[in-house]
Amino acid sequence: MAKTKVLILGGGIAGLSTAISLLDDGGADRYDVTLVCMEHRLGGKAASWRLPDGRLMETGFHSLFGYYTAVPALLERAGRSVRDPRWFTSNRGVHRMYDQGARALNLLRVPKHLFDAASIVRSDALVYRGMSASQRLRAGLWFARFGLTLLTTKPTPALDDYGFTAWCVAHGLDLDLTSTGWFKYIFDLTYNYPHEGSAYVGVQGFKDLIGYANSDVLYFNGGMSEVLIAPLATHLKKLGGRIRFCTKTTRLTLDRAGRRVAEVATRAMASYEAVPGVDDHVIPTIVRGANHPLDDAPYPVGDPRPMDDAPEVVLRAGEDFDVLVSALPLDSLRALLLTTPDRRAVHDDPALSALWKLRSVVSLSLRMWLKERVVPRDIDTVVLGTPQPTATVIDYANRIDALNDGGSVVELLGQEGLDGGLDDDELARRIVHNFADLPFVDRGRFDPDRVLSQADGNTFQLRRNTAHHMRYALLEPGHWRHLPGNAIDGYDNLAIAGDWIRSTQPTISTEAAARSGLDAAAMVRTRTKG
């Protein structure tokens, strides 16, 4: 019996999850799977790599929450446990929240059970700096009612018609509390800032976090590619899956009458050579002068493009693939859909046309390599709620033993928000000076101007992820109705996966990507039973 040929576009978590799910548990006898990776490394927005001097670089800070199920299951398939201390370190339910108004760092501990009063006493919940005693009491009483509501009801997508702030006020939160750091940090942390967040996403997110085990955060001991992507790639290759690197999908032909994707055209972005014993990346021939150099430097502005002299390779339905799975980010898929000769094939399909009702956002990360420690050793978890445009701070040297060499590796994460009009130099200056102004940063050892000038062994990298494949979808009120599911009913041989599509995990996360891949694989199996 001939195998069903499945072509997967996208080398991130969603694409890997789809491919592994199809091939595992006997699927290799039924499916011939090829995964097309635009870059020379798998992982997409979850990738990490080493700079030429050995420094670790990532697209941003990564972690796994205790309520994640799909990502740990994927890793288990590849023979790696998220509970193995060689690869992950738990935050033990400890969180630190910065209150900008009070210029204070608050310690919050998630109770291990309903009667764990010790966690409350040991944290700053009762003496939260930045709120009055009355505000703390009213916030605590509301949050207790809110938690009870989440335990006894299931949030529905209908909540997406409301903003999270409006929903909270309508359910008893005093309006003045919405202006406190305790509440505002929710928006500062999300990629929605300064836009209002979806009530469905906010409520479901809190429901997932309820409970000590669920709120536990597992931090990667090393780069995400090394800990997560590499074992998944190796497992995929062992199952018989193929990976095509440095290949950009440049054209898609939708056959509206035949209800199928008829053709996919690709072009090489670079020639490359394999790395012996390595499955998750290759060594590319660097393309100079293009808007994407395909080397180990941060992405420049713009979307990657193929080599000018690369021939077009046309893949046809029924010959080269039977099913096409798009595991592309929102903007990349939209750009690809615009290449179909018959634009009505997109306009006339409700799910595809609705993609233009969604919006995306540019994420930021600035990583500093410092010669001295500038953050106290006891701050060994993420600091939340720091000033925009980067609302999260992590000192890796306080968390990863391999980086504990007397210096610091500090990551600051966020998104452009109100600072989108700044050029890179202005943006970096604002981020670094905001960090220097934090009360827990040792200004005797941290000189922002010395860092910005990259003097005395201090250096930094700013990543402004403007390219199509690096942007995140905004989770605004009303967005849920426009999200596609895995199946596009108008096209029988097309499925979609990604952290931005409609799934059981409505946040933008590695877990959402992994779950969508599992669902896409299940849909492919259902459609190809005959």
Each residue of 59-86: pLDDT tens digit?
A: 777 889 999 999 999 999 999 999 999 9
What does the pLDDT read at residue 407? 84
- Does residue 78 fall inside a structural domain? no
Same domain, residue pair 519 and 495: yes
- Does residue 124 fall inside a structural domain? yes
- CA nearest neighbour of 497 among 488, 489, 37: 488
Task: Name the strand (E) or helix (H) holding 262.
Answer: strand 260-268
47: exposed, middle or buried (C-beta count within 10 Å: 0-12, 13-18, 19+)? buried
- Does residue 203 fall inside a structural domain? yes
Same domain, residue pair 130 and 180: yes
What does the pLDDT read at residue 251? 96
State CA 286 to chain mean position distance.
27
Same domain, residue pair 228 and 351: yes
Same domain, residue pair 350 and 368: no
488: Cβ–Cβ under 8 A, 6 or more apart, which residues? 349, 351, 352, 494, 495, 496
Q: Is the pLDDT of residue 331 over 90?
A: yes
- Does residue 76 fall inside a structural domain? no
Among candidate residues 154, 181, 215, the one where a domain is terminated: 215
Same domain, residue pair 235 and 312: yes
Q: Is the pLDDT of residue 315 over 70?
A: yes
Same domain, residue pair 249 and 351: yes
DSSP 400: -
Cα end-to-end distance, the chain, whole Å: 11
Q: pTM for the complete prediction?
A: 0.95
The CATH number of the domain holding residue 41 is 3.50.50.60
Burial string for 324-349 (b: 16+ CB within 10 Å, else e) reads bbbbbbbbbbbbbbeebeeeebbeeb
Tens digits of residue pLDDT in 374-393:
999 888 888 988 999 999 99
Same domain, residue pair 185 and 234: no
What would the mean pLDDT of 293-304 be, rounded to a whole number? Answer: 70
Same domain, residue pair 115 and 184: yes
What would the mean pLDDT of 221-240 be, rounded to a whole number? Answer: 95
Residue 297 in contact with residue 463, Cβ under 8 Å? Answer: no
- Does residue 75 fall inside a structural domain? no
Among candidate residues 184, 215, 246, the one where a domain is terminated: 215
| Domain range for 150 | 92-215
Query: What total number of domains does the chain contain?
Result: 3
- Does residue 70 fall inside a structural domain? no
What would the mean pLDDT of 141-152 be, rounded to a whole number? Answer: 88
Among candidate residues 151, 183, 215, the one where a domain is terminated: 215
Same domain, residue pair 302 and 380: no
Question: What does R_g of the chain's alpha carbons equal in angstroms?
Answer: 23
What does the pLDDT read at residue 53? 80
Cα–Cα distance between 292 and 263 in angstroms, integer?
Answer: 26
At 301, list the tokens: 């502005």
Cα–Cα distance between 159 and 201 in angstroms, integer?
Answer: 8
Cα–Cα distance between 235 and 137 in angstroms, integer?
Answer: 51
Same domain, residue pair 265 and 338: yes
- Is the preceding peptide bond at 194 cis, omega within 30 degrees of 0? yes
At 104, list the tokens: 């204070």
In the block, which residue shows the tokens 């990657």?
Answer: 304
Same domain, residue pair 118 and 206: yes
At 524, list the tokens: 């492919």
Using H for helix, E for strand and C for coil, what is the string for 246-293?
A: CEEEEEEEEECCCCEEEEEEEEECCCEEECCCCCCEEEECCCCCCCCC
Q: Write out the DSSP string of 363-389.
A: EEEEEEEESS--S-TT--SPEESPSTT
Same domain, residue pair 208 and 234: no
- Does residue 402 fall inside a structural domain? yes
At 433, list the tokens: 């000076």
What integer best gives the mean pLDDT of the chain?
Answer: 90
Task: Name the strand (E) or helix (H) holding 391.
Answer: strand 390-395
What does the pLDDT read at residue 405? 64
What does the pLDDT read at residue 410? 93
Residue 282 in contact with residue 273, Cβ under 8 Å? Answer: yes
